[in-house]
Amino acid sequence: MQQSDFLKIVTPFQDKLYRLAKRLLVSREEAEDATQEILLKLWSKSKAIGSYNNVEAFAMTMTKNFCLDRLKSKQAGNLKLVHSNYKEEGTSLQKQVEANDSVDWVQRIMEELPEQQKMVLQLRDVEEYDFEEICEMLEMKPTAVRVTLSRARKAVREKLMEKHNYGIG
């Protein structure tokens, strides 16, 4: 496979790989390193890329596994989960502050979720993958993905309600 062909296949989802790595590995540098490692691994498998049904799903699974391995490794003692994928332009300062506050709260809540709920919520609501792709990436049954997503959303909703209704009553 030529480099140009490889780039045509990989470039459209390269940012998604980075965002998933950033979600799992906190620092921008760690996420960039992880993304680069995955791209190198994909390049080393470039001859076999044509045989994969969904290269993007394969790459996302590789990224997830690589990042989880990093988190489990001894080198990863200081890594934590963060999400900084939110941007809103053209709004007032007050709305930007409120939006940033809401995103910060959701980030904190997501950090407390079990790993599987966190991954499903990230892939579905942030990365906007459909259920079939999530099932393939996480090796879960469709029912399990839907239940996990429902529980994650419910947990986030309940924590946000706690925050916003605090002291009212």
User: Domain limits of the chain?
Assistant: 1-82, 87-169
**Rounded Cα distance, 111 and 89, in Å:** 26
What is the average pLDDT across 94-106? 73
Separation CA 146–CA 151 (nearest Å): 9
| Pairwise CA distance, residues 131 & 90, whole Å | 32
In the predicted model, what is the mean pLDDT of residues 5-13?
86
pLDDT at 46 over 90: no
Contacts 24+ apart (CB under 8 A), 154-157: 155/109, 155/112, 155/113, 155/117, 156/106, 156/109, 156/110, 156/113, 156/121
Task: State whether CATH 3.50.50.60 applies to domain 1-82.
Answer: no
Determine if the pTM surpasses 0.75: no
Going by pLDDT thresholds of 50, 70 and 90, the confidence category of residue 82 is: very low
Residue 169 has pLDDT above 70, yes or no: no
The architecture of the domain spanning 87-169 is: Orthogonal Bundle (1.10)
Query: Do residues 163 and 104 lie in contact, with contact meaning Cβ atoms separated by under 8 Å?
Result: no
pLDDT of residue 76: 44
Q: Does pLDDT of 75 surpass 60?
A: no
Radius of gyration, CA atoms only, the chain: 18
Mean pLDDT of all residues belonging to the chain: 80
